[in-house]
Structure 1
Amino acid sequence: MSSNQPTPDRIMHLANGYWATGILGAAAGASLFTHLEAGADTADQLAAKAGISERGAQTLLDGLVSLDLVELHNGHYRNTPEATTYLVEGQPACLSSFTQLKLAHMGNLTSLPEVVRAGGPVTDATVEVADNPHWQHVVPAIAAQSVPVATVAADLLHLADAGEISILDIGGGSGIYSAIWLELNTTAHATQLDWEPINTIARRLLAEGAVADRFTCIDGDFHTTDFGTTTYDIVVYSHIAHQEGPEDNIALFAKAHTALKPGGTLVICDYIVNDDRNGPPFPLLFASEMLLKSKQGNTWRRTDYQDWLTKAGFEDISFHPTPSPATLIFAR
């Protein structure tokens, strides 16, 4: 066979991609990465620490080696630097709970052919609502993915030296931006606007730190709740735009513009695709998540954000890469 002839190898890997989701989620659920970091480095040791079978531990280790998350040296296993940073429990950016969440959601993809035909969710159960009990699991699980981005944004905005600023986080979820930023700036105050069940989770999570006295919540739907006028130095709109349609995004950006003090900054974080929709890979793939779960959402182009923010009254718009698949936008 010619070396230029295509092979089925990559398609086989893609078609069996659920193996990676399953191995990663199961390993995280058994705290394998945490046990590896603590010194357990063989299948039998890991099985004993995790309370799983030795056969199961070996199978997970084989899979993790194939995924380049665990390395094997002279019969002993260890985490890769990537796994140490993002999969060991207790680390600020640990995605262990997130991987378990994705494993639990994997079955939802079987409805994708029907959703593609319909052009959106086919049952009400897939539409996110305030009283959905899944928030108790989802909100804490997705918080860690914002840690690197919130840290980059703080550096770019020089928040540590910004003085007594006021922050509004629209749909702030776990309150992760407030937690990081208020710790960096001990004179700043943050307000989170979100549904009451989600704010309850954020209050609990931030109560564990030293910033709770400078963190307040407004219970409400950000579509209908007023943001105020010239009230805040910074407004955060993180991972909201992808679940909204164009008209709602413009309306929310306009409300944010009104809420900002002169010279204030709207901080947007989201998965953004190129204008010709030829990349990057992760935002392109994430569009299917929005088709499954939202009525109007999508991964939007840079030109979409430029257009919407201009219509909302912003003039100075800049895009900034992050260590994650997300992009930061600053609008003033």
Structure 2
Amino acid sequence: MTNNQPAPDGVLRLINGYWATGVIGAASAHSLFTHLENGADTAAKLAARAEISERGTQTLLDGLVGVGLVQLHEGRYRNGPEASAYLVEGKPASLTSFAQLKLKHMGGLVALPDVVRAGGPVTDPTTEVADNPHWEEVVPAIAAQSVPAATLAAEVLGLAGAGPISILDVGGGSGIYSAVWLEANPQARATQLDWAPINAIARRLLVERGVADRFTSVDGDFHTTDFGTAQYDVALYSHIAHQEGPENNIAVLARLRQALRPGGALVICDYVVDDDRGGPAFPLIFAAEMLLKSKQGGTWRRCDYHDWLLKAGFEDVSFHSAPPATLVVAR
């Protein structure tokens, strides 16, 4: 480019970001990452294994090399480290179902200009109701995202050696935190509070993980259901704060403080931005999702969480990186 003008490649790559969503979602739908992991290293072999066209397979491979998920060496393809860790079916942190789910969500972004103008959803968000059948697809698809953070939280809290503790998971969704934590501590017991259809999904996961005998679910809305007083050693508020406004978050955090025994710990996991809103990148971009889907939610700053927790009665607050999320531990 002349006059030191930057090339347009980066901007064009961002504008066409939906291409990456499509390529990754389609590759996941046809188990290409799994077949690559199992040794199918050419377009022909992959096409035969996946029972799809060789032309389509080559197109997906080109796209996956382009986005940096698949590596090509002397005519042979293989998963890169990220694809191997997060896009192979059957692995604990596999995001293949989530990749396919996001294909269906791309159309919703068409409304973003109007949503920005209005400052929130321009139609009533209909997904956030208990009896929406989409939970059967969404809740299992997003579960794997929480495996790394749940594992890290168990280490930060020393759960493995904590003995017969009692855990409360508010809005626990898939139950993945309970599953990871109960596996780490065979003496622990967990209670999840969520809507009945979602709790049913969680119970299935806990059965699959072999820890359902120490898991209890309470059907209800966390905005109105009593958490009890001094009943739990650990409480969890994961990926809920971004859906709520400041006043609601303070109110829920105060009730969680009351539900904890003396010395108990609250764990928050969410997409947290720096105090000056200069980063990290993923939480900053995620704010658009909340503008589209919630009336008062957002990606909140570290100082917001710190302030809310002090107002709720906690005294000690620490932050732990769990990219792309952040763990907040309060006592």
Q: Which range, TM-score by smaller chain?
A: over 0.9
Size of the alignment, in residue pairs? 331
1:318 aligns to 2:318 (yes or no):
yes
Residue number in structure 1 paired with 2:241: 241
Name the counterpart of 1:50.
Answer: 50
Per the alignment, in what secondary structure is the counterpart of residue 229 of structure 1?
coil
2:97 corresponding residue in structure 1? 97
Q: After TM superposition, list the pairs within 5 Å mapping 1:67-78 onto structure 2.
A: 67-78=67-78
Q: Describe the superposition over 1:272-325 as per-residue Cα deviations: whole angstroms up to 9, x where unpaired.
A: 011111111100000000001111100000111111111100110111112x21
Alpha-carbon distance in structure 2 between the residues aligned to 1:125 and 1:329: 28
SS in 1 for 2:269: strand
**Residues 125 and 294, structure 2, Cα contact 8 Å, conserved in 1:** no
Deviation string, structure 1 residues 227-284 (Cα, Å, up to 9, x no partner):
0000000000000000000011000000000000000000000000111111111000
Where does residue 155 of structure 1 map in the other structure? 155
Deviations 1:166-197 (A, max 9, x none): 00000000000000010110000000000001
Counterpart residue type for residue 272 of structure 2: I
Identity across the alignment (%)? 73
Confirm or deny: 8 A CA contact 1:126 1:293 kept in the other structure.
Answer: no
Q: Determine helix, strand or coil for the equivalent of 2:192.
A: strand
> 1:235·1:256 contact (CA, 8 Å) conserved in 2?
yes
Corresponding residue for residue 128 of structure 1: 128
Secondary structure of the residue that 2:222 maps to in structure 1? coil
Q: How does 1:215-254 map to 2 (within 5 A)?
A: 215-254=215-254
Paired with 1:62 and 1:330, the residues of 2 have a C-alpha distance of: 43
Q: Which residues of structure 2 form unaligned runs of 5+?
A: none
Q: Which residue of 2 aligns with 1:85?
A: 85
Q: Distance in 1 between matches of 2:317 and 2:77?
A: 47
Partner in structure 2 of residue 196 of structure 1: 196
What's the CA shift string for 1:43-65, capped at 9, x where partnerless? Answer: 11111111211100000000000
Q: Secondary structure at the match of 2:216?
A: strand
Query: Distance in 2 between the 1:293 and 1:72 partners?
Result: 39
- The letter for the 2-side match of 1:58 is Q
How many Å separate the matches in 1 of 2:118 and 2:130?
24
User: How far apart are residue 150 of structure 1 and its match?
Assistant: 0.4
Q: What residue in structure 1 maps to residue 287 of structure 2? A: 287
Instruction: Report if the CA contact (8 A) 1:179-1:211 is conserved.
Output: yes
- Whether the 8 Å contact between 2:169 and 2:193 is mirrored in structure 1 is yes
Contact 2:69 2:82 survives alignment (8 Å): yes
**What one-letter code is carried by the residue in structure 1 that aligns with 2:188?**
A
TM-superposed deviation, 1:114 = 1.1
Pair 1:330 & 2:329 matched: yes
CA distance in 2, matches of 1:51, 1:158: 47
Q: How far does residue 327 in structure 1 lie from its aligned partner after superposition? A: 0.3
Question: Which AA in structure 2 matches 1:205?
Answer: L
Tell me, yes or no, if the aligned pair for 1:128 and 1:294 is still in contact at 8 Å: no
| 8 Å contact from structure 1 (residues 126, 292) kept in 2 | no
Secondary structure class of the residue paired with 1:191: strand
Q: Is the 8 A contact 1:230 1:261 kept in 2?
A: yes
Assess if the C-alpha contact under 8 Å between 2:175 and 2:192 holds in 1: yes
Q: Does 1:213 align with 2:213?
A: yes
Matched residue, 1:115: 115
Are 1:6 and 2:17 an aligned pair? Answer: no
- Mark the CA change 1:150 to 1:3 in structure 2 (over 3 Å): closer, same or farther: farther
In the TM superposition, what is the alpha-carbon distance from 1:125 to its structure 2 partner? 4.2
For 2:327, the aligned partner's letter is L
Contact 1:112 1:292 in 2 (8 A): yes
CA drift at 1:123: 1.8
Give the CA RMSD over aligned residues: 1.0
Supply the distance in 2 between the matched residues of 1:118 and 1:48 (Cα, whole angstroms).
50
Aligned-partner Cα distance in 1 for 2:126–2:32: 31
Q: CA deviation at 1:4?
A: 3.2
Deviation at 1:126, TM superposition (A): 4.6
State the SS of the aligned residue for 1:124: coil
Alpha-carbon deviations, 1:37-83, whole Å to 9, x = none?
11111111111111211100000000000111111111111111111
In the superposition, the TM-score normalised over structure 2's length comes to: 0.98
Matches of 2:127 and 2:31 in 1, distance apart? Answer: 31
Structure 1 unpaired stretches of 5+: none
- TM (norm. structure 1) is 0.98
Is the 8 Å Cα contact of residues 167 and 234 (structure 2) preserved in structure 1?
Answer: yes
